[in-house]
């Protein structure tokens, strides 16, 4: 209960009692009178409390009584001051909680108030009614007020006692109901604990059986339904674990095969890469040599072209020689005719010289010499003609050979041109082939790297697959601890090798 709430209740009580500011000031004025009576009144109270067994048990010793007495004097001093605030409510609350903890019944507490009030009233009356004439009357008033207060407090005691008895009966009923509910709770908890214990041991077929109170029917139904669904779920898990084990075994076998094939493929690709690298080098060398051969063929084609020009010039020279031979033959024919005419003239001159006799002897000698010269010229011309004919034949044969050589050179030139074209095409093809092989080499190298990476990934996958197999086996071992509905005993033969 919070302080504002306590203060509100305090104000309500003060207003209901009419204990206003004026009365509280009047009470404060009687403080010395009130506190002066407390010691004797409390001694009377504690004397009676020690004599009654129900109250004597609350005090263990005389020191305990004196401590309680000092606390009571302090509290009544606070009351006599006429100040009722939050400190007052805290003090009253502490006293009430202490009495409740000790089990002090209100009747003894109210009886103590009656004794204290009796002493206070007596002191007030005696203080206010002093003198010979009123002293006797004051004693009578004191007795009357004391009797009235005690009667009122007695009635309060019984009323509160009845109220508390009713509360006690209600509390007893509540306690009986709580006991019954506790017994029912203990029963259902026992059933639940038994089912949970079997469940903890892996038996998912356990259920809460037997009759339970109606208020726990929903709990029983929900528990059995939940455990049934859990059993069904574990049954499916068992089936799925078997499938996982089989699939894991197949996957492990597949990854093992894949790992071996990947290793073989990596080795083959590595060998292929080395072979392609050698082919690339050979291709480069072939391209170089083909280019060199192309240069040689080109040079040969150029030499053949020059040879064709030389042959052409030789043919032209032979043709000129043949023309010159023909002209020489014509000249020899002219010389031969001249020799014939000269010989004929010499013969005629000899005849005429013979006719002349002695006078013609010198002319005859000249004619003879001319005749002999003409004969020698004819013989020389004949030999020259023979030589010219032979030379013409040789020149003709040479022209024929040169022509044939020219034709052969032309044919060779054409062949060399064809070879040059083919060599050029081969060179271009070899270049393209070298480029293609280089690209293939690059691709094979890249494939080799990728294959190596794939091999590493396959090894990791293989390791993960074996790990998955171990996890699957562990899962199977865990599941084998549970007994579920419609489930055959777990077999160990499906473990991956």
Angstrom distance (rounded) from CA 17 to CA 78: 18
Q: What is the pLDDT of residue 329?
A: 76
- Cα-based torsion angle of the residue sequence 196, 201, 202, 207 in order, rounded to the nearest 10 degrees: -30
Tokens of 227: 């455990």
Tokens of 96: 């009430």
Cβ contact 395:329 at 8 Å: no
Please write the tens of the pLDDT for every residue from 340-384: 787 777 778 777 777 777 777 776 777 777 777 777 777 877 777
Q: Which residues pair with 483 in a beta bridge?
A: 203
Please write the tens of the pLDDT for every residue from 413-424: 777 777 777 777
C-alpha to C-alpha distances, 240 to 181, 263, 376, nearest whole angstrom: 44, 33, 136
Q: Whole-prediction pTM value? A: 0.38
Angstrom distance (rounded) from CA 399 to CA 382: 24
Q: What is the pLDDT of residue 2?
A: 46
Cβ contact 339:325 at 8 Å: no
Cβ contact 402:311 at 8 Å: yes
| Ranges under pLDDT 70 in the chain | 1-8, 130-137, 144, 146, 148, 150, 152-161, 163-164, 363, 478-479, 481-482, 484-497
Place of tokens 């005090």: 59
Q: What is the pLDDT of residue 388?
A: 75
Place of tokens 């093992």: 256
Tokens of 160: 């509160």
Q: What is the pLDDT of residue 485?
A: 62
φ, ψ (nearest 5 deg) of residue 203: -90, 100
Angstrom distance (rounded) from CA 126 to CA 134: 9
């Amino acid at each position: 209960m919070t302080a504002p709430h306590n203060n509100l209740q305090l104000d309500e009580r003060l207003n209901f009692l009419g204990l206003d500011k004026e009365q509280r000031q009047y009470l404060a004025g009687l403080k010395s009178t009130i506190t002066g009576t407390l010691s004797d009144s409390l001694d009377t109270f504690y004397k009676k409390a020690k004599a009654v067994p129900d109250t004597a048990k609350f005090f263990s010793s005389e020191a305990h009584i004196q401590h309680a007495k000092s606390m009571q004097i302090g509290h009544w001093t606070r009351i006599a001051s006429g100040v009722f605030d939050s400190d007052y409510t805290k003090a009253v609350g502490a006293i009430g909680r202490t009495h409740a903890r000790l089990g002090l019944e209100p009747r003894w507490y109210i009886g103590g108030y009656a004794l204290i009030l009796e002493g206070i009233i007596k002191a007030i009356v005696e203080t206010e009614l002093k003198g010979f004439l009123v002293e006797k009357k004051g004693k009578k008033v004191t007795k009357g007020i004391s009797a009235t207060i005690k009667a009122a407090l007695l009635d309060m005691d019984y009323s509160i006692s009845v109220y508390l008895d009713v509360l006690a009966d209600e509390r007893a009923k509540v306690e009986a109901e709580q006991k019954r509910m506790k017994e029912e709770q203990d029963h259902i908890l026992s059933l639940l604990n038994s089912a949970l214990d079997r469940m903890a041991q892996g038996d998912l077929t356990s259920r809460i059986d037997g009759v339970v109170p109606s208020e726990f029917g929903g709990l029983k139904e929900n528990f059995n339904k939940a455990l049934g669904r859990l059993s069904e779920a574990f049954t499916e898990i068992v089936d799925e674990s078997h499938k996982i084990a089989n699939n894991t075994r197949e996957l492990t076998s597949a990854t093992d095969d894949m790992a071996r094939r990947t290793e073989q493929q990596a080795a083959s690709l590595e060998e292929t890469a080395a072979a392609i690298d050698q082919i690339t080098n050979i291709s480069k060398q072939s391209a170089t040599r083909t280019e060199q051969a192309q240069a040689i063929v080109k040079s040969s084609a150029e030499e053949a072209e020059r040879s064709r020009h030389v042959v052409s010039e030789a043919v032209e020279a032979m043709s000129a020689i043949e023309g010159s031979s023909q002209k020489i033959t014509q000249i020899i024919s002219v010389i031969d005719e001249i020799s014939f005419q000269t010989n004929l003239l010499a013969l005629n001159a000899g005849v005429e010289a013979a006719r002349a006799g002695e006078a013609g002897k010198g002319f005859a000698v000249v004619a003879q010499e001319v005749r002999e010269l003409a004969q020698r010229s004819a013989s020389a011309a004949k030999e020259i003609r023979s030589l010219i004919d032979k030379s013409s034949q040789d020149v003709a044969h040479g022209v024929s050979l040169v022509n044939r050589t020219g034709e052969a050179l032309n044919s060779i030139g054409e062949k060399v041109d064809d070879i040059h074209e083919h060599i050029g095409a081969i060179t271009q093809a070899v270049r393209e082939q070298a480029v293609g092989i280089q690209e293939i080499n690059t691709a094979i190298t890249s494939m080799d790297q990728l294959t190596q990476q794939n091999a590493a990934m396959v090894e990791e996958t293989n390791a993960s697959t074996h790990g998955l197999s171990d996890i699957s086996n562990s899962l199977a071992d865990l599941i084998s601890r549970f007994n579920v509905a419609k489930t055959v005993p777990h077999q160990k033969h499906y473990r991956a090798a």
